[in-house]
Structure 1
């Protein structure tokens, strides 16, 4: 099953350059017409990068103290200062400002790779930022969050992980509709704000290497104030984005934007590629990274990913596509030569309007007063963590504003008013796959023969290579023409249907609750969900996210096909198909019935939570910031749907929460707080208090099969009676 979904996604990734054409209506008849035609694409790029927060008024300050003056060096007539500039409330950019010897001829943001300090591109072996200043440019060099893992954890809990600092910030930001790349684009654009406030007539350029090249491309694609952009050691194909560090993950990116489409958004401004197309480049030019450090005692959880050199054919391929989108065959410059250093001469010629000969800087490494880079990194890291934690704390008010159109008059009016939210949840949060159109092609074989019921394995076709699988338990006392309710019983992480249906023993966590329900006379179906085989299934998320898909995109369709088939069985009452899941099955209980309305009832066990907090909080011991489950992160969920809002989509159908007091997935206070919102909706606004309840019981992470069975009997009717 997991292999089949991988095969499906691999085909979609390969086809994405062709498929994304449907999202573009390019008009090249004039510069004005072009900008108008791509403005919806630019707005969507801004949204998926999370560049959505208003920046504060531009302001730049020198950083100085008794032991570290702001002026850190004077070299080749240029002065280098330690500076910070305002970006967002509580968030600064921080790095170096290089003032040229004379009056500036241009303003430039030079962006290093994430694992370079600003000093590396000013005083290091390839000081391209300093070289630009020597030619008359005023240059700002920002600090990026690094891939070190020193800071990735909680000092309060004294608990740390091996998540690279970029992944640590990115995880929490992603859930809140932001990305680390988006935060760093905001820092670049805030520098543009400051430049514009100082000298609006001077041209502005952005040049970046590695991760800095990525950020330079994003920034220029979003902001037309940037006249020239140079992308060094990044431009190339991105269909294997799932193999790169997770901090580069962007929801829906490849659905609409390859690197060629990003380059298109820079048109008609100048975009310089380094290495140049059709110029072979020394692989040493590309920054590499082997992946997160493993084997540190007590530190784990990081997502896999690495950085390797792009073959020059990949640069050529995307460049050809970009120029085809611009309506021209090619536009290679003979002046640009790929090498092992960032080319700055073409960039200088473009931004200053003057010819510059190709030459390596002859400026030796300069002595300079070092401002502690570790302390600077920590300030930048702490600010972004604090900003994102505040987004979470404020998110309840954001969600209330988002839900203001819901109508709570009679229950049927509520359900109707929720349809736009259901559509958004499916398409923009979960990710909507096309409707399956093929035959179900069911295959079954008997695996159980119990005194009260018979069990069968079942497979159903969904898409080519994608199928649904589960175990069906049919009572033996079904009478001809009788219709009985079905309970779909869902296993959790790394589970199997037989964990739910085993008639010979009470299984750990599940207590064989499917078999127990079949003994009570219910028809039971236990699906296999594809969250199994650890990293192998989690990489489905990495492949799917850039296509605007998630693991639940497939789970929703598998359950849809399962219900399609269950409805054909002669003993099934199609209006009484209920859902009951534990752990990751409880996660399913919140998401699938919110979309699939044919589930008449849903029970969430061992999962219900103040979910956004559980995923985002930096100081929650049981939170996902400390675990390997990078598959838990859903883009912008925090602004739209916590568990109470998912239950909004289940209402007015019956909904129940089963909670063990000592279940480590959460704490009673958080769970009760989130459930209280659901109780308020059902009891006070919809006037249907009997359709929802929560059961707290002594115990841990397990199915108790007490109040939940009573809830099923109440709302489905006891089978056989």
Structure 2
């Protein structure tokens, strides 16, 4: 071989060796720690297994304890002589969102054209198709059964409410085949009653894999309204219409009766409106502590803090109340192999909430009846019936006697009508009627969405922005509302930290510890503390901390290393490599249905998931602030996705957070929850699987700009990727402009409020935000 050839080979080999090496990974290379010794000042952590799962289960057990205690709390609120029934009626109507929209002042029944009006006639009885206005833009629609002829006087007016999966025609005796109930609207009409039968939205599953009722409930809920509230407006407007059309018979008694969903509405209507002189509740009465396991549209925020079925029924007293138990709608959405609502812990495709129409045990019904007797005392005018037939003869006879009617045999055998809906035209009409009612409510929700911007402006009218002192003073009343009415506060004293830790991982520049802290009885916090290796724990140096929050279904491990690096960019470790201390907490939004149903447990007693998460962060930040190596004035929050949701909800109520960064979540949040137009559905939660995401009445109180006002005057930043599917650039910019206006234009502190746009997806970009942290935490850049 020639010398030149040898030289070339010798000089080329090192290069070949370099090119043959694997490229360095983008994520930090972290290895298990050499030992599991604890952080100084803590006990050794010995818990085994998946701590994130244990945390979620502990949250669940805590909520079950709070639900079990709710009945005792209500007992104290309902002692005889300690409350005014009218105040409780007002409170119940507010929980249902019925205070938001005025009922129509002059209600008249609108009969269909003559050709379609008279759908069935028998001797002495006629049935009409009718509609009536309930609130502006929403109508009731159904059947009106009238005794007819000089020998058939109307003795009472009744609203008979079917279950959601029944049509008015079914309880009017106009359909063939078996029915879940007697044709009780028809039987009441035979007994001399004029009977109005409203239709309800059914529980059919739609194309978005949820029921029709949940589809309408979701936007209504965040806008401070409720599907049950809309349907009660229809029922009570029906009361208005019946009274307005009584003619000279102004003293004619009026009652409401229903089964299943109709029983629920009858109970609530009888409680709310004292013009209703008799109430029949069939297939719906019992303990309500498992409200969270019922269909989504039964979720009434804060109901169980004040009302169970017994408390609501007590508002009917001293008017007659009939409660029939024994037969209930057989409805389960997303059933498991045992027929119970399924609880899936891994990410799955279903969009709708699992739920079952409540079927209480006989013992449960008896217990709730006893509570009703205790609350109502001598005023209770109650008849409790157990029946093997829904809306059976005994219940109907007792109900009509309460209205002053002696029914005789007319409640036992329905007259025979021609079944007018055997023909396609009749069936088409039923389907079109339901579609029209769906469209009306959806349209009303979208109109309320547009109106919500003005509602929030009115809500925030007392905020002072003349100067920072006036702002700081006036914002506190809004912070209190946010804490108590939006997030919910258990107001339980936190327990001692009892800190446990163990070394977890090491990198070239960092070392991390798993940390567990006790928070509330049975509730703990868990996270990963990452320390720069150049931090001398014994030297007394105090450094800033960045709390790095994972997103949906995440864990602390996701934000520190290789796991899910494409989204999180290992930002908890990267920031520690730049000299910050970081802490990555486990938040409770993990394990799919398990945590989502916790939102419903929480909301039933006026709380939310964040009612537990916030005390966990208060404990974490207090513990961090107590560490000798932490500057307690420089603890920042930075979260991605659901962690971005956390960035908008936690720092307003955890004052140790000196700044907040919302990444991959900031939005026109109310629009993102409530919009149902085809273009918006690309981004909206209205048709997605996050069925827990909807928070009561944010539309009337706090959008993201208003939450940012609760963070102000602390530094606030948004990190936004142009290709992030959580929303459009326009919606993000629209909402951020309002926050920026407060900081820059009104308060003159524009340097504390920033947004970074970058050409990327749903991820931590770590450029502008890192500079923001270095600037406001007063830490030198890399």
- TM-score range for the pair, normalised by the shorter chain length: over 0.9
C-alpha displacement of 1:308: 5.2
Are 1:364 and 2:416 an aligned pair?
A: yes
8 Å CA contact retained: 2:119, 2:420: yes
Aligned to 1:155: none
C-alpha displacement of 1:98: 0.9
Aligned to 1:349: 401
Aligned to 2:369: 319
Are 1:380 and 2:437 an aligned pair?
A: yes
Distance 1:435 1:308, change over 3 A: closer
8 Å CA contact retained: 1:163, 1:292: no
1:241-277 deviation digits (Å, cap 9, x = unpaired): 12211111110111111100001111111111013xx
Are 1:518 and 2:576 an aligned pair?
A: yes
Aligned to 1:203: 253
Distance 1:358 1:466, change over 3 A: farther
3-state DSSP of counterpart to 1:659:
strand
Aligned to 2:357: 307
Mapping 1:418-437, distance limit 5 Å: 418-437=475-494
Aligned to 1:610: 668
C-alpha displacement of 1:339: 2.6
Aligned to 2:14: none
Number of matched residues? Answer: 691
Aligned-pair Cα RMSD in Å: 2.1
Partners of 2:196 and 2:349 in 1: CA distance? 35
3-state DSSP of counterpart to 1:460:
strand
In structure 2, which of residues 709, 713, 726 is the aligned counterpart of residue 648 of structure 1?
Answer: 709
In structure 2, which of residues 120, 145, 153 is the aligned counterpart of residue 73 of structure 1?
Answer: 120
Distance 1:558 1:70, change over 3 A: same
Aligned to 2:102: 54
C-alpha displacement of 1:43: 1.6
In structure 2, which of residues 328, 332, 336 is the aligned counterpart of residue 286 of structure 1?
Answer: 328
Aligned to 1:411: 468
Partners of 2:760 and 2:386 in 1: CA distance? 67
Are 1:236 and 2:286 an aligned pair?
A: yes
1:356-406 deviation digits (Å, cap 9, x = unpaired): 469522423543363611100001111001001111111000000000000
Partners of 2:768 and 2:123 in 1: CA distance? 78
8 Å CA contact retained: 1:121, 1:129: yes
C-alpha displacement of 1:501: 1.4
TM-score by length of 2: 0.85
C-alpha displacement of 1:423: 0.8
Are 1:572 and 2:630 an aligned pair?
A: yes
Distance 1:333 1:496, change over 3 A: closer
Partners of 2:699 and 2:579 in 1: CA distance? 40
Are 1:40 and 2:49 an aligned pair?
A: no
User: Which deviates more from structure 2 when the two are superposed, residues 46-55 or residues 191-200?
Assistant: 191-200
Are 1:225 and 2:275 an aligned pair?
A: yes
8 Å CA contact retained: 1:57, 1:86: no
Task: Mark the runs of 5 or more structure 2 residues left unpaired by the alignment.
Answer: 1-54, 337-347
Are 1:463 and 2:511 an aligned pair?
A: no
TM-score by length of 1: 0.92
C-alpha displacement of 1:481: 2.3
3-state DSSP of counterpart to 1:119:
helix
Aligned to 1:478: 535
Aligned to 1:274: 324
In structure 2, which of residues 732, 743, 746 is the aligned counterpart of residue 671 of structure 1?
Answer: 732
C-alpha displacement of 1:353: 4.7
Are 1:441 and 2:441 an aligned pair?
A: no
Task: Mark the runs of 5 or more structure 1 residues left unpaired by the alignment.
Answer: 28-33, 151-159, 276-280
Q: Which has the larger radius of gyration?
A: 2
Partners of 1:365 and 1:325 in 2: CA distance? 44
1:509-566 deviation digits (Å, cap 9, x = unpaired): 0000110100010010100001111111111012111111111111111101101111
In structure 2, which of residues 385, 388, 399 is the aligned counterpart of residue 339 of structure 1?
Answer: 388
User: Which deviates more from structure 2 when the two are superposed, residues 467-476 or residues 607-616?
Assistant: 467-476
Are 1:687 and 2:748 an aligned pair?
A: yes
3-state DSSP of counterpart to 2:638:
strand
1:292-342 deviation digits (Å, cap 9, x = unpaired): 599xxx9841110122532222211111100111125986648x4523130
8 Å CA contact retained: 2:333, 2:355: yes
